[in-house]
Amino acid sequence: MKILDKYILKKFFKTFFFVVLTLNVIVCVIDYTEKSDDFIKNNLSFNEIFFDYYVNLFVHWVSTLSPISVFIAVVFLTARLASHSEVIAILTNGISFRRFLSPFLMGATLLGGLTFLLIGWVIPKASRDKVEFEVAYLKPPFYFNERDIHMRVDDSTYMYMESYNNRIDRGYRSTIETIRDNRLYKKISGPRIEWDSAKQLWRMDKYDLYTFGSNGEETMVSGKNMEVDLHVNPKYFDNKYKLEETLTIPELNDYIKQEKLRGNVAGIGVYMNAKHERYAYPFAIIILTALGVIVSARKTRQGSGFLIAMGFVLAFVYILLVIMGRSIAQAGSLDPMLTAWLPNMLFFGITSILYYTLPK
């Protein structure tokens, strides 16, 4: 590693950590001003607020804002180097712009790899405490209000409920059907189905059992207190507020696979987008680092302040595209993978055009 690489990398990491600390402290202060009334209303202690919530919130925003933090840090650092004529001195000594860009990309690659490990496996576990805190103290009580619930329980069993009360773990007007080879073999209907927590089974207090023979004959038996063992439990109907933030990449893959098997294809867009975002973020760090160096390496008449301001504008454009992508993925209007990678694709195109057109 050359002296130039060490010099730039040292400044790169110092500036990055300064920007991360500054941005996240600002975010936490703003968050506190919005939620202080809720903290007082719930009579929460300082330890509960700080250690159970804000420590985890800080970690969450460190990962979420990592591409933007890197971009702002790079723009800030490179603009300062340009204003002090250090970039001109480096280039006039026979060092190409590509070689000047190398240590920035080296640092971005290291940060990208670290970010991928954190957002893929470490930070989701920390986010669980944050989400539990928000559900307990900052959000209204959760009531499952979906109607006409259809789900595939296993390879041959399908379940329907007209409604479900998550407070007492009870479903209403339920039907369980067994279908094999496109033929209905058995159907169980009942006005209520309730979870028995002691036996970890579902129980129908009244039921009608229909069986269908291969020749079209049908029999019906009515009874009381039938126990039904299904591969689904009341956790399926729990509050899924920010669930995607609390799942590691392997857990996201398992959850998406499980929902597809249950036939809930329309409801997995936000989880697919969250998974692809975690793969896209490391590349976003590298792309935005290159863009930051390119747009701020030239000494301008407006000074470094103009370049830093432009960096903030581009950073918030990126954030806006990410937020829009999440909304579009949740609505199912576009493929979740495309919405997660679209900001990277757009900014990669902008970076490539600027690299080949701007004078260096």
Note the pLDDT of residue 354: 84
Shared domain for 35 and 109, answered yes or no, is yes
Q: Answer yes or no: do 88 and 154 share one domain.
A: no
> According to the model, what pLDDT value does residue 217 have?
87
Supply the pLDDT for residue 302. Answer: 66
Q: What is the pLDDT, as a whole number, of residue 360?
A: 62
Return the pLDDT at 83: 84
What is the pLDDT at residue 333? 80
Residue 299 within any structural domain of the chain:
yes
Residue 42 and residue 129 share a domain: yes
Q: Between vectors from CA 11 to CA 8 and to CA 13, what angle results, nearest 5°?
A: 105
CA angle 32–33–34, rounded 5-degree value: 90
Decide if 61 is inside a domain.
yes
Q: Are residues 310 and 168 in the same domain?
A: no
pTM: 0.91
Judge whether 132 and 66 are in contact, CB under 8 Å.
no
Angle between helices 304-331 and 269-296 (to 10 degrees): 160
C-beta of residue 56 within 8 angstroms of C-beta of residue 110: no
Which residues constitute the domain of residue 186?
Answer: 149-233
Q: Give the pLDDT of residue 239.
A: 93
**Does 263 map to a domain?**
no
- In this structure, is residue 351 part of a structural domain? yes
pLDDT for res 304: 65
Residue 41: the pLDDT is: 94
Within 10 angstroms of residue 197's Cβ, the number of other Cβ atoms is: 10
Q: Is 190 inside any structural domain? A: yes
Does 82 fall in a domain? Answer: yes
Q: Which residues of the chain have pLDDT under 50?
A: none
Nearest to 161 by CA among 187, 190, 195: 190
Look up residue 201 and give its two tokens: 């089974």
Residue 261 has what pLDDT? 87
Q: Which residues contact 198 (CB under 8 A, 6 or more apart)?
A: none
Q: Which pLDDT belongs to residue 341? A: 95
In a domain, 224, yes or no: yes
Report the number of distinct structural domains present in the chain. Answer: 2
**Domain co-membership, 125 together with 168:** no
